[in-house]
Amino acid sequence: MSVRLETDNDRNLEETAIQRILTAASPGFAAVSLPALSAMDYLLVKEQQATTGIEIKTRKEPVEQVRKYGGLMLKHRKLVEIAQLAEMLRINGYVAFCFENATGPILLAEPRKLLHLTPTTPPPRRNYRGLACDEEPVVYLDWDQHLQRLT
């Protein structure tokens, strides 16, 4: 059985999120979509120059509900990949957490500033898929220290 890690609905929600991010950005920015399963989902470009890479993580629940679960989880591998890629490209790299199916608040984390976080084994998924990526080490982001509200 094949499991799709990134669905068409995921990409639609990411598109909704990036449009909201562009609205919040200064004028003149455009978004370039990167191939499926890339380390980042979009590059922000201004005057034909890539300035920012963004990985979008959408959550169905409101931010208040997700906060009750504790720290916001992010795969350690993803954190390192984004930080390294941003450094290699000499751009800013961010993870945008978008709540309420990309219609609620958007919180940004900057991976290069979070490399000190200790990876830990994630709790078992409610919808366990039997995939190796379900068991990859994660870091927990502190809502008040590691996240900045965009919208």
* Cβ-Cβ contacts under 8 Å for 72 (sequence gap 6 or more): 66, 97, 107, 109, 140, 141, 143, 146, 147
CATH number assigned to the domain comprising residue 55? 3.40.1350.10
The tens-digit pLDDT sequence of the chain (151 residues) is 454 567 888 899 999 999 999 999 999 999 999 998 899 999 999 999 999 999 999 999 999 999 998 889 999 999 999 999 999 999 999 999 999 999 999 999 999 999 999 999 988 766 666 666 678 999 999 999 999 999 8
Reported pTM: 0.90
User: Which residue range is the domain that position 56 belongs to?
Assistant: 8-149
Please report whether residue 3 resides in a domain. Answer: no
Tally of structural domains, the chain: 1
Distance CA 13, CA 25 (A): 18
Please report whether residue 131 resides in a domain. Answer: yes
